[in-house]
Structure 1
Amino acid sequence: MSGRLRVLLWLCCFCAFGLRAEEAIQAYDVRMQVEPSGEVLVTERIAVMAEGKMIVRGIYRDIPVRYRLGNGLLRSTPLTLISATRDGRPESVTEQRLEHALRLRLGSADVRLESGPHVYELTYRMNAQLLHHASVDELYWNVTGNDWSLPIRHASVEVLLPEGAQIQAAHGYTGYRGSREGAYEVLEQQGNRLRLATTRELDAREGFTVALAWQAGLVTRPGWWDELLVLLADNLRRILLVAAFSGLLLFYALIWWAKGRGPAKGLVIPLFELPRGVSPLMAGYVWRRGLKHDRKGVRALSIMFTDLAIRGWLSLQRDTSGLVLTRGEVDGDAIREEERRVLNALITREGGSLTLGGRYEPRLANALEVLLKSVKGIERNNFSNATGHWLFGAFFALVTGIALLVTSTGDAEAANNAVWLMLLGMLLGAGTLYCLTHGMIGTGLPLLLFALACLGLAAGLVGGDAVLQCLALFAIVAVARKLMRSPTIAGRRLLDELEGYRNYLSLAERDVLDKAGQAPVMSIALYERHLPYAMALGVERQWTQRFTAELRKGTLAPVEVDYQPQGFTQLMTSGEAMTLAWNLDRMLMTASVPPEAPRSVDSFSGSSSDDSGSGSSASHGGGSSGGGAGGGGGGGW
């Protein structure tokens, strides 16, 4: 065989392979009959070429049965399937409810199609598809839909109106959704009949839409009362959603008004001492209404150490290895219970020591845990959270959220999976919030990724709207939890006393005599006694400036000028000792946090889609491909 002949033979084989039939919709012919009752009888004849790639057992057809109107409300369009055939014989049909559409799956999972051409025919009836204007009625119909995964070689539509109708305007649209291209031809337009056909092939995701108008009076129009009832029924879920949101907000607002506001603020007068039994820990916790910006309790622990050092029960000494904490002799009657527990967790015996360097120290972490347990009693005695009422609202939100997820789809299995994914996502989200507010960013970020993955998967099952609505409900619950916390009567009284005491500590030197004429004279003992409280209330800088000014003026006794703070090493100057007290929290932070092991995280994401339709005066050219009723799409399976 010559070389030229061999090349020619290969070219012929290649061309034959290229001419091999590919899967497509060869013809998409639709016949529509508008009945005097306002219903539309639709017959779709879909001729396909099956090659066992996408079309293996049959095809599916997604037909929208719920649309979003221009005002945001929903409109349902009931569909009644009359018949389904393949190649002239009845075909098995499985119905599946999607978020906004009904999926008709033609074929059987046990039967594979033979390769080659097949003709499917669907006949169904739909209601609420017409648009009613002042003098005309209009049909705006997406003939093929814009969501087919297969190309459409040729499409046509025949519309038959009621007897006596005269078509006043007609227009067609082709292309992708939103396109106003008019690649079609009018085959017939006479009296009450209209026939259109495309003049080019439609690619996957392209569609063919038709709109026509005729004189009013030939089709029964629903009354306003019927339209209102239908509108309410179609939007019942939204009405219940608004009622649930409004009810939850009103409930929490009433509870906040009755319990969440707390007692009114009392008269604030300067105080030079706090009531007995109020520790720096209690003062700081109540004044800041919690451990704000100190979630780990490190700042509170450093203030407690400063107080214990000033009273001589804990020695702070700096050397080359770090900071050495040594437990001194403790006055059993004077020490507070929370201080005793923290000291016992830190150093069990008198004279024992602990060195804080640049590494993790488990005993310090235990002391922090003991301290955080101690503040629970302070919280309980000084603040109220209306927990019972808040939990009732949270339970209502949980039940409502589950109902929203279940009613957002007709697929029971998808709804069930979405509920569990949503609950897991919310749990992981709460864990993320806890980690991020407690400085555990390395743990919080992976949890955040997993939470978003769960929410995304849930949105893919039931739609993004339902997931966002659930998140909004729980956002109300979270905000309510924050607002419900208010001081008790005892807590309000202590807050007023703390404000008066804080005002005294923060007064500048020149204001002491003017605003607090009875203020005690500054001394070393006075400064030391109030320093931990000043640190707890955030005015240690002003308090120390007052003390420094007295030193400069020479009003302190000479023996006090170069004093050595009790509990601090004798090798430090007074300024160094105070600097150590102020920066102690940084040392404690380093020693209380265990090192994190490296980790890697895989993330997942989900997405959702929302099919919606709306009507317009499209018969005069104001529409587009993909607009109007009908539509949807399909593919092979």
Structure 2
Amino acid sequence: MRRLTALIAVVLGLLTVALLPSSAVADVDDFSYSSWDVRFDVSLDDEGRAVAHVTETLVAAFPDFDQNRGIVRGYPQRYEGAGVSLDIVSVTDAAGQDVPYETEIDSDSEVLYVLTGTDDYVRGEQTYVIEYTMRDVMVTGEESGNDEFHWDMLALTSTQAVNRFHAEIAFSADLAAQLTGDTACYEGFEHDRARCTLSGPVAQDGAQVFSVSSGARAAGDGVTVAIGFAPGTVTQPASRQPSPLADYGTAAVGGLSALAAAGAWVSVARLARRRRTATGIIIAQFDVPADLPPLTAAALLPGSQNPVPAQLVHLAVHGAIRLEGEADDDRPAVRLIDRDLAPTALDRAAVDAVFEGERAPGALRFIPRKSTEFAKRMTKLTKKGTAQAAARDLTTKERSRAAVVFGWISVGLFAAALGLFIWSTTLDRELLILGILAMIVTSAIALVSAFVAFSKHTVLTPAGAEMYEYLLGVKEFIRVAETDRLRMLQSYRGAERRSDGSVDVVHLYEKLLPYAMLLGEEKTWGKVLDTAYENDDRSPGWIGLSTGVSINSRLSDYSSSVHSASTYTPSSSSAGGSTGGGYSGSGGGGGFSGGR
């Protein structure tokens, strides 16, 4: 039964297609031209530039059913780097009666389309006589140096065959007097070099006329003619004249503006680097001042990591909190141990920010994966550390004089580039796109760089530079071999010691861990701590560790989770050549032909 139903459905479908009007399944390009005749009347205007009045007589052979409403003819609006000032004069039929039409411009391909007809269908042979004018239709040959009329007589992108083709090119007396006798004719599909016969010139009403004819031509099978004239016969438009300033001036001056902008950036960077130097001597340091929490230290270290993870570890090793997690160690948490053990007021503010004012020992807070409120509190906390560095005269705001100079140079050059760009837009240059790209890039660079050049930037004060070098000394201590570290500690009277006089290495190393995180030595120092705990035969009390999990591994996961949580941001929704050298399709014109 199912097979019978399917068979009936197929038969009904075929019958429906067969009974549909032909226009429902036909293609509007499925027709041909009985004949295609074109005449070019080429002369010189008052400026000596080549102008052409063109008449195309196209006889379309449409099918004898409702398929087409007219034809579509496309004309290029540019030729060899210049606009041709294309103007459609009229569209008429064989009797000279006006044929309705409309035009459309494809800005991407710079082709003007003429769409003939109305909403009414047309059948059988229909004649369309299209008249239009153009300017600058002759060029200077690159190899010969002669002036040339080099044009595609048929649309190489046509989708229709032509049963008969004929073209005439008539040159006014002043142009005809400059003919060199060099001519060429090519036929076939694009890039074919097959020769055809170009007849003439023949005198006709004071003009010299060339002609070419052929029988049937397949769709896309074109004819291209090339006719030579003495050099200087035709005045070329400015857009075809060499003009390095118009073509490359915007990009060149814009590049200089970008270079000056780079100078501003370099000047700011050099200022910051100079302000980080106090004595230039780095001495290994085994501790950090008690009044310099990671939140403040981060403001002194260029390119330091987000200080929040380091700050929580700092609080943990001082006994104020304990780093914990769920049984599977997947979600980090902190437990309040004793707020009063936080060394400074900023440290206690950090405890309050994490626990939201909770002060009872034992309170547990999980670090949220996605919380804008938590991220805001951590951002505010980080800013407090930066503000404290400035309040303690460790940092200051300063403007680079050299950057300001470079900034003004960059702005001035950008203004010059903008002026050149505006000027070049009036010249109809082929390389205008280069200027557009240059302005987009240069404007972005100049805007950002001006902000950098004219703004004050955070730099270290002399006291801040000393503290910066001290922190580099801590980094040096972290990076030396273990035996060298122990040797250093024996020589320092201030190193914390046990009752037997030996240095409490584990306790000292714990205090340095937050700063190792800021200095990019987290993994290195984590391994050192693992070894120190193992040698001392004890486990850390400030962080919860599962069996077989190292401090280094646990701390890496913890630091990553806290960093992600403290910086969380919700996603928002939301045809040239010498005369006689070329091929089919190497000239101007041609365009497109299709159905409507």
TM-score (norm 2): 0.67
Give 1:583 shift: 3.4
Deviation at 1:343, TM superposition (A): 4.1
1:121 maps to what in 2?
Answer: 130
Kept in 1: contact 2:151–2:226 (CA 8 A) = yes
- Asked if the contact 1:66/1:101 (under 8 Å) is kept, the reply is no
Q: How does 1:297-376 map to 2 (within 5 A)?
A: 300-317=307-324, 320=327, 322=329, 325-331=334-340, 334-337=343-346, 340-341=349-350, 343-346=352-355, 348-350=357-359, 351-354=361-364, 356=366, 366-376=373-383
Q: In structure 2, what is the equivalent of residue 212 of structure 1?
A: 227
Q: CA contact under 8 A between 1:316 and 1:325: conserved in structure 2? A: yes
Deviation at 1:310, TM superposition (A): 1.0
- Aligned-pair identity (%): 17
Structure 1 residue 22, shift from structure 2 partner: 4.7
CA distance in 1, matches of 2:566, 2:265: 38
> Contact 2:510–2:529 (CA<8 Å) still a contact in 1?
no
C-alpha spacing 1:134/1:349, structure 2 compared with 1 (3 Å): closer
1:264-321 Cα shifts (integer Å, max 9, x gaps): 2521412524456432244456535254xxxxx5xx4433322211111112346636
Change (3 A) 1:568 1:630: closer
Aligned equivalents of 2:386 and 2:164: distance in 1? 74
The equivalences for 1:419-434 within 5 A come to none
1:312/1:516 CA distance change after superposition, 3 Å: closer
| Distance change >3 Å, CA 44–CA 503, structure 1 → 2 | farther
How far did 1:541 drift? 4.4
Counterpart among 275, 279, 291 of residue 293 in structure 2:
279
The answer on 1:23 being equivalent to 2:39 is no
Q: In the aligned structure 2, how far is the partner of 1:494 from the partner of 1:53?
A: 89
With over 3 angstroms needed to count, the CA separation of the structure-2 counterparts of 1:311 and 1:572, relative to structure 1, is: farther
2:555 aligns with one of 581, 602, 606: 581
CA distance in 2, matches of 1:594, 1:217: 71
Partner of 1:615: 576
- 2: CA distance, partners of 1:46 / 1:352: 96
Q: Identify the residue that residue 509 of structure 2 maps to in structure 1.
A: 527
Q: Deviation of residue 39 (structure 1)?
A: 0.9
Query: Which residue of 2 is the match for residue 449 of structure 1?
Result: none
The correspondence for 1:196, drawn from 191, 197, 212, is 212
1:9-158 → structure 2 map (5 Å cutoff): 22-35=30-43, 37-49=48-60, 56=69, 59-67=72-80, 75-79=81-85, 81=87, 83-87=89-93, 88-90=96-98, 94=103, 96=105, 98=107, 101=110, 103=112, 105=114, 107=116, 112=120, 114-115=122-123, 116-127=125-136, 129-132=138-141, 136-158=146-168
Residues 475-529 of structure 1 show CA distances to partners (whole Å, capped at 9, x for unaligned) of: 7469959997976234766554433331122111344489999555562331121
The one-letter code sitting in structure 1 at the alignment partner of 2:542 is G
Is residue 321–residue 336 contact of structure 2 (8 Å, CA) maintained in 1? Answer: yes
- 2:184 is matched with 171
After superposition, the C-alpha distances for 1:88-143 in whole angstroms (9 at most, x for unaligned) are 245666575835636263657x7757444022221313126222566743222122
For residue 50 of structure 2, what is the amino acid of its counterpart?
E
- Contact 1:260–1:386 (Cα < 8 Å) also in 2: no
| Runs (5+) with no aligned partner, structure 2 | 1-17, 427-431, 496-502
Task: Please state how far the C-alpha of 1:530 moved relative to its aligned partner.
Answer: 0.9
In 1, the alpha carbon distance for the partners of 2:365 and 2:29 equals 82
Alignment-derived partner of residue 489 in structure 1: 460
Conservation of the 8 A alpha-carbon contact between 2:314 and 2:514: yes
Q: Partners in 1 of 2:254 and 2:120 — Cα distance?
A: 50
2:170 corresponding residue in structure 1 = 160
Conservation of the 8 A alpha-carbon contact between 1:141 and 1:627: yes
Is the contact between residue 173 and residue 209 of structure 1 (CA under 8 Å) also seen in structure 2?
yes
Amino acid at match of 2:293: S
- 1:47 deviates by 1.0
Q: Equivalent of 1:539, from 507, 515, 521?
A: 521
* Equivalent pair of 1:507/1:542 in contact (CA under 8 Å): no
Change (3 A) 1:251 1:170: same
Q: Which residue of 2 aligns with 1:447?
A: none
Give the whole-Å Cα distance in 2 for the aligned partners of 1:152 and 1:312. Answer: 94
Work out the CA distance in 2 between the residues paired with 1:632 and 1:538. 65
SS at the partner of 1:41?
strand
Match of 1:252 among 226, 249, 261: 261
Contact 1:268–1:499 (8 Å) recurs in 2: no
CA displacement 1:327-356 (0-9 Å, x = unmatched): 122128734437624643445423353365
Aligned residue-pair number: 520
CA distance in 1, matches of 2:185, 2:33: 20
* Letter in structure 2 aligned against 1:373: K
Q: For each residue in 1:430-489, what CA deviation from the matched residue of structure 2 results, as whole angstroms up to 9, or x when unmatched?
A: xxxxxxxxxxxxxxxxxxxxxxxxxxxxxxxxx997986676457746995999797623
Seen in structure 2, the aligned counterparts of structure 1 residues 254 and 53 have a Cα distance that, compared at 3 Å, is: farther
Q: Which moved more, 1:161-170 or 1:465-474?
A: 465-474
Distance 2:202 2:212 in 1: 12
Q: State whether residues 268 and 500 of structure 1, in contact with CA within 8 Å, keep that contact through their aligned partners in structure 2.
A: no
Distance in 1 between the 2:568 and 2:458 partners? Answer: 35
In 1, the alpha carbon distance for the partners of 2:324 and 2:110 equals 75
- Corresponding residue SS for 1:538: coil
Task: State the 1:160 CA deviation.
Answer: 3.0
Per-residue deviation, 1:82: 7.3
* Pairing partner for 1:567 from 535, 539, 542: 542
Distance 1:481 1:352 in 2: 52
Contact 1:260–1:483 (8 Å) recurs in 2: no
Whether 1:182 and 2:194 are equivalent positions in the alignment is yes
How far apart are residue 45 of structure 1 and its match?
1.0
Structure 1 residues 327 and 379, CA, compared in 2 at 3 Å: closer, same or farther? closer
Which residue number in structure 1 is paired with residue 499 of structure 2? none
Matched letter for residue 208 of structure 1: V
Contact 2:294 2:311 in 1 (8 A): yes
Structure 1 gaps, min length 5? 1-9, 68-74, 292-296, 410-462, 555-560, 602-613
Pair 1:127–1:523, CA change in 2 (3 A):
same
Going from structure 1 to structure 2, the CA distance change for 1:585 and 1:78 (only over 3 Å counts) comes to same
Distance 1:370 1:466, change over 3 A: farther
Per the alignment, in what secondary structure is the counterpart of residue 83 of structure 1? strand
Distance 1:81 1:547 in 2: 84
CA displacement at 1:248 relative to structure 2: 4.0
Change (3 A) 1:65 1:544: closer
Q: Give distance in 1, aligned partners of 2:524 and 2:339.
A: 30
Write out per-residue CA displacement over residues 580-627 of structure 1, whole angstroms, 9 at most, x where no aligned residue.
Answer: 334323555798899999x9x9xxxxxxxxxxxx4112x33x312322
TM superposition score normalised by structure 1: 0.64
- Residue-by-residue CA offset, 1:388-434 (whole Å, 9 max, x unaligned): 9899989x999x99x999x999xxxxxxxxxxxxxxxxxxxxxxxxx
Tell me how far 1:249 sits from its aligned partner.
0.9
